[in-house]
């Protein structure tokens, strides 16, 4: 076959796994042969709407079988899949569509209005809406199911190499503008192989996808490895603890992925004590360390966690903690994935000995090589040719386990969502009353961190928290908007004039703790 990429995965499974469940969700369930037929038809429908190799096809929606159909159909055509975060504001959707140059947009019916507003003045020529019960669509969009049903199930073999772009995933930029990480077919394939090796995924596995597939962790560490192995991916379009516990029993779920907050909410749910969790074999957790009390609650049910470290640019796995090390190496991000290497280096790029803190750099076939339309950004991404500079600080112990120390980029992780302060600060500073602003992350028991704005008000001006939040509303995804704001006469600064965010974090974190 000429197509060496993701697009051919389900076609190869069509006979190997015929009759076995592939994907279930939103009242739909398809076996591998059924899913392959739908993907072939969708590829024809996209082709009829002008999609050719290298073109971009965007998807705006929560977890749904259509998400995976569009991904694989795009791959069959040699096109590039662009999944969009459903929590973005219209200007953010518009930027991603403009920057990627997407010509087709597939949207969940519940998000039709967001799609209509976000697609203004973009290159989108066709919008297909995925029907959802209870959703009303006023825009004049094409019906996704009708388009698939009307298309012929042609089998095609368009040349696609592992080096070709498969997905563009937008990640918030440290300079305030999102960047489109270009994930190749090879990046996603090798990441999936790492998962299969390090997590012992089997063909009888049943993975419950509770995190959005537009996040690379859910897609790269969850759905894609399952489908590569011929296992069963069960999708939920929103996280509701009771529904998760019920689904584990109903489908015999063997693996679950989430962030500490989701696991905490499951353990605190009234159904927890009586829930049948006997099928579970693997729990993976990312975003931050699992609190001891949460770890205790799961160990009482005979379950251990496997944590890990990664990012969009590593597709996303860089390290993982084997479950039997979860207590012994508490706080660690784990060992390098099987086909990935991690080093810690000093400011000159020299490799540091065990226990020394430095920048984490990552090498492997799962690491990206470029950002979409950003050749200038890519130039400083690597050291020694192919070692990706993560911008995170950490150290390796004498067994090679990675421990994260700090984030050079000041990124905030709230409930598993990445927030870059610069993006928020650029909008707050638009207010005439603001002379300086710093957005910092404050510790939060439920979400891990929450964004907080520290604002220096211009002399002779006045400003309230309500005015700041109103200015941000509709401009940014809600999870990026600070939950609170503090006002100061002046900011603590370095000799060169830079705001000392570490001082602010300590000051306000201590104040928050003392109030509890």
Q: Please give, one letter per residue, the 3-state secondary structure of 385-454.
A: CCEEEEEEEEEECCCCCEEEEEECCCCEEECCEEECHHHHHHHHCCCCCEEEEEEEEEEECCCEEEEEEE
Q: Of 98, 121, 91, 118, which is closest to residue 107 (Cα–Cα)?
A: 118
Tell me, yes or no, if the pTM score tops 0.85: yes
Q: What does the alpha-carbon distance between residue 362 and residue 353 come to, in Å, rounded to a whole number?
A: 16
Q: What is the DSSP letter of 36?
A: H
Whole-number pLDDT of residue 494: 63
| Residue 337 DSSP symbol | P
Q: Which backbone phi and psi does 424 adopt, to 5 degrees?
A: -75, -40
- pLDDT tens across 214-255, in order? 999 999 999 999 999 999 999 999 999 999 999 999 999 999
Instruction: Specify the pLDDT at position 502.
Output: 85
Give the per-residue pLDDT at 514: 54
Phi-psi region of 350 (alpha: psi -120 to 50; beta: other; left: phi over 0): beta
By the 8 A CB rule, do 7 and 74 touch? yes
* Pairing verdict, β 126-130 and 104-108: parallel
Task: Please state, in angstroms and rounded to a whole number, the distance separating the CA atoms of residues 160 and 144.
Answer: 25
Nearest residue to 469 (alpha-carbon basis) of 438, 432, 433, 428: 428
Output the six-digit token pair for 115: 């799609």
Q: Tell me what pLDDT residue 371 has.
A: 94
Contact in structure between 438 and 499 (CB atoms under 8 Å): yes
DSSP one-letter code for 352: P
Continuous segment of H or E residues that includes residue 117? helix 112-118
Rg (CA), the chain: 23
Question: What is the distance, to the nearest Å, from the Cα of residue 101 to the centroid of all Cα atoms in its chain?
Answer: 21
pLDDT score, position 142: 97
> Which structural domains are found in the chain, ordered by start?
1-160 (3.40.50.980), 307-407 (2.30.38.10), 419-515 (3.30.300.30)
CA angle, corner 325, sides to 320 and 328, nearest 5?
130
In angstroms, the CA 427 to CA 419 distance is 14
The answer to whether the Cα torsion of 426, 427, 431, 433 is positive or negative is: negative
Mean pLDDT by 10 residues, the chain (516 residues): 96 96 98 98 98 98 98 98 95 97 98 97 98 92 98 94 98 72 98 96 97 94 98 96 98 93 91 97 84 88 92 96 89 95 95 95 97 85 91 94 81 85 87 91 90 92 94 94 94 73 88 59
């Amino acid at each position: 076959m000429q197509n060496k990429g993701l697009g051919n995965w389900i076609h190869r499974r069509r006979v190997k796994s015929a009759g076995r469940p592939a994907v279930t969700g939103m009242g739909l369930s398809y076996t591998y042969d059924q899913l392959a037929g739908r993907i072939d038809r969708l590829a024809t429908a996209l082709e009829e709407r002008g999609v050719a190799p290298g073109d971009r096809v965007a998807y705006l929606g929560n977890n749904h079988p259509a998400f995976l159909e569009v991904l694989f159909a795009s791959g069959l055509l040699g096109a590039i899949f662009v999944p969009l975060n459903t929590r973005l504001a219209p200007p953010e959707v518009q930027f991603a569509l403009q920057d990627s140059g997407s010509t087709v947009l597939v949207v969940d019916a519940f998000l039709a209005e967001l799609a209509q507003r976000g697609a203004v003045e973009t290159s989108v020529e066709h919008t297909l809406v995925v029907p959802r019960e209870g959703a009303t669509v006023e825009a004049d969009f094409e019906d996704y199911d009708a388009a698939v049903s009307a298309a012929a199930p042609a089998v095609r073999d368009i040349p696609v190499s592992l080096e070709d772009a498969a997905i563009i995933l937008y990640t918030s930029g440290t300079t305030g503008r999102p960047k489109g990480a270009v994930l190749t077919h090879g990046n996603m394939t090798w990441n999936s192989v790492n998962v299969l090796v390090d997590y012992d995924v089997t063909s009888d596995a049943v993975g419950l996808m509770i995190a959005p597939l537009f996040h690379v962790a859910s897609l790269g560490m969850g759905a894609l490895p399952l489908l590569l192995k011929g296992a069963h991916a069960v999708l939920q379009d929103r996280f509701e603890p009771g529904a998760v516990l019920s689904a584990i029993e109903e489908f015999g779920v063997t693996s679950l992925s989430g962030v500490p907050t989701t696991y905490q909410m499951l353990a605190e749910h009234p159904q927890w004590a009586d829930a049948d969790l006997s099928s579970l074999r693997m729990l993976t957790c990312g975003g931050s360390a699992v609190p001891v009390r949460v770890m205790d609650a799961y160990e009482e049910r005979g379950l251990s966690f496997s944590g890990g470290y990664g990012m969009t640019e590593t597709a996303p796995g860089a390290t993982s903690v084997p479950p039997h090390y979860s207590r012994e190496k508490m706080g660690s991000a784990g060992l390098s994935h099987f086909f990935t290497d991690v080093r810690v280096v000093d400011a000159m790029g020299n490799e540091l000995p065990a226990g020394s803190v430095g920048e984490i750099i990552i090498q492997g076939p799962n690491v990206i090589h470029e950002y979409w339309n950003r050749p200038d950004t890519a130039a400083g991404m690597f050291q020694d040719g192919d070692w990706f500079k993560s911008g995170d600080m950490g150290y390796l112990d004498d067994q090679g386990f990675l421990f994260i120390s700090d984030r050079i980029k000041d990124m905030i992780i709230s409930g598993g969502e990445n927030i870059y302060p610069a993006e928020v600060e650029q909008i707050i500073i638009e207010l005439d009353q603001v002379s300086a602003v710093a957005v910092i992350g404050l510790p939060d028991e439920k979400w891990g961190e929450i964004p907080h704005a520290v604002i220096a008000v211009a002399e002779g001006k006045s400003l309230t928290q309500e005015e700041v939040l109103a200015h941000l509303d509709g401009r940014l995804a809600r999870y990026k908007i600070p939950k609170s704001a503090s006002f100061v006469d002046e900011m603590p600064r370095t000799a060169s004039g830079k705001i000392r965010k570490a001082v602010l974090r300590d000051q306000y974190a201590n104040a928050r703790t003392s109030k509890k």
